[in-house]
A and B are shown apart, each in its own frame.
Chain A
């Protein structure tokens, strides 16, 4: 049984490898995090525009259906029949009047309520269910759904804080910035990485790795740590925004900073420069904003490519990154083409993201045999967890672990938050 004694330090600057590899810890995460008082990203309002539109998704290991009911309200419930525990809705998306389990045809409405059971009264008065069976007590288990500018979040907990409070002002401000106009889904991509889900959650909060692992960023001049940028967290430090501003450094400064770093710094140019050309879309100069929402959502703007990533744990040793690529509904065709070209930057084949798959797999593989040893998280300093106005930092990882420890009930006395 894992306890607060697992932490070698009180500032989460050491994370024991055990936390990435232990099946019991994984089960506790499912119970206390994903089925606990967090809000998980479910999908987008615009993915289910019409009554009856549904999408199947996941909250941790739990299968969930998201749909729009006949009155136009978004409902979400656990995708599991009250009768035998079977998956009710098997398709990933579609439109339906109701959800019927194929096993024994139990039928649920778009609000998740149990509407009909075949042979409920038996045949010729024999068999079936006892008249005392209460249909209303056997609906699909509902999630509470919240909507922030068209991004839908859900929680299975009855005691979760309000969604706006959970996200906090910096995240709300970023979501209202990114989703300031109606969005259009351009497509989806998926990547299955042989590593623990938390390695990915850390990766998205790790500003330090970006220009070192993803050499394309520096080599082809898309993003470098010499630009103005930093990390900004919510008050509890569970979420994080990594940000950078376009054209905020000089080639000379970057050349000097990267000399001797092991990343090539002679700055090549592409034959097709539009791949990395940033077009300002609003009154700021941010060309990189990675907004990580605990536990499993990441809203991403890299240049003009826009996406939401959902981290889907698949057991202790595998994670699926499900990414929804976005544009705005009012994008002219030429802007859509620009975004489709810049989609080359992200996803499993992304020019500035493919490496994450490899980095997570090698970290997962090599840490497995020595679960009592620990990672080192000290870039940007140890001790207090706070925002930084520079990029060579991994402080937000410690924020992630701090809230993780609280939810799992393994927060040591005197630990930083």
Chain B
């Protein structure tokens, strides 16, 4: 399978849309069987410090996160809106960087910028599909407004 720009664009677009639609099982399916997902405060990244806000170094941990979100966690009632910028593509399409912004809108229609930062994705080809092997979310907005529950 040839990785072209359109395939990368499609993956990023699906990624944001599935979170915004709260279709988390389909969102999980964008990740490879062996994968890692991290939300790392810029403050830590810049200092070479490893502690992340969300650190899932296996598919099982990522699935547990989603299960906890559904079964146990309580959070501000809101909808997310991902705005993902044009990607920079390296290594024949296997390394993809994209800036993002996530807006949150509450039940009364008030919107705020919740988070902005940079996605750094390592992709892999799985059968006929492009999957996320390693996603590092560098969070510029590391003074997290209220709380972080739904995935970035």
- Taking beta carbons and an 8 Å cutoff, which residues of A are in contact with B? 92-93, 185-194, 213-216, 219-220, 264, 268, 270-272, 275, 320, 325, 336-337, 340-341, 343-344, 347-349, 351, 354-358, 361
Contact = CB atoms under 8 A, between A and B. Distances in A.
Interface string B63-96: 1110110011111100000000000000000000
A390 B5 CA distance: 60
Interface in B19-47: 39, 41, 43-44, 47
Nearest to B41: A189
B71 A188 contact: no
B146 interface: yes
Nearest to A184: B49
B55 A341 contact: yes
Contact of A190 (B47, B60, B144): B144
26 contacts: A187-B47, A187-B50, A188-B51, A189-B53, A190-B43, A190-B143, A192-B143, A192-B146, A215-B74, A216-B72, A268-B71, A270-B60, A270-B64, A272-B60, A340-B50, A340-B51, A343-B51, A344-B56, A347-B53, A348-B53, A348-B148, A349-B144, A349-B149, A351-B65, A351-B68, A355-B147
10 nearest CB pairs, A to B? A187-B51, A357-B147, A271-B60, A348-B144, A349-B148, A187-B44, A187-B49, A186-B51, A216-B72, A325-B51
B73 A351 contact: yes
A189 B44 CA distance: 8
B142 interface: yes
Interface of B: 39, 41, 43-44, 47, 49-58, 60-61, 63-65, 67-68, 71-76, 142-149
Contacts of B73: 215-216, 351, 354-355
A340 B72 CA distance: 21
A272 B41 contact: no
B44 A190 contact: no
Contacts of B52: 187, 340, 343
B46 to A, nearest CB: 10
A194 B43 CA distance: 22
A272 B58 contact: yes
A354 B64 contact: no
Contact of A349 (B61, B63, B145, B147): B147
Contact of A264 (B49, B65, B71, B142): B71
B64 A349 contact: no
B147 A186 contact: no
Contacts of A341: 55, 57, 61
Contacts of B41: 187-190
Contacts of A215: 71-74
A194 B61 contact: no
Nearest to B63: A271
Given A268-B71, A272-B61, A358 B144 contact: no
Contacts of A194: 146
Contact of B149 (A92, A337, A354): A354
A354 B143 contact: no
A354 B147 contact: yes
A315 to B, nearest CB: 14
Contacts of B148: 348-349, 354
Given A325-B51, A355-B73, A358-B75, 15 more contacts: A186-B51, A188-B41, A190-B143, A194-B146, A215-B72, A216-B72, A220-B68, A268-B67, A270-B64, A336-B50, A341-B55, A349-B147, A351-B68, A354-B73, A361-B146
B151 to A, nearest CB: 10
B75 to A, nearest CB: 6
A93 B73 CA distance: 34
A192 B64 contact: no
A189 B72 contact: no
B43 A188 contact: yes
A320 B143 CA distance: 8
Given A187-B44, A190-B41, A349-B53, A271 B64 contact: yes
A216 B71 CA distance: 8
Contact of A272 (B51, B64, B144, B145): B64
A320 B145 CA distance: 9
A356 B74 CA distance: 9
A341 to B, nearest CB: 6
Contacts of B71: 215, 219, 264, 268
A214 B57 CA distance: 23
A325 B142 CA distance: 14
A349 B39 contact: yes
Contacts of A351: 65, 68, 72-73
Nearest to A354: B147
A188 B144 contact: no
Max chain A CB contacts within 10 Å: which of B44, B58, B60, B73? B73
B49 A186 contact: yes
Contacts of A271: 60-61, 63-64
A321 to B, nearest CB: 9
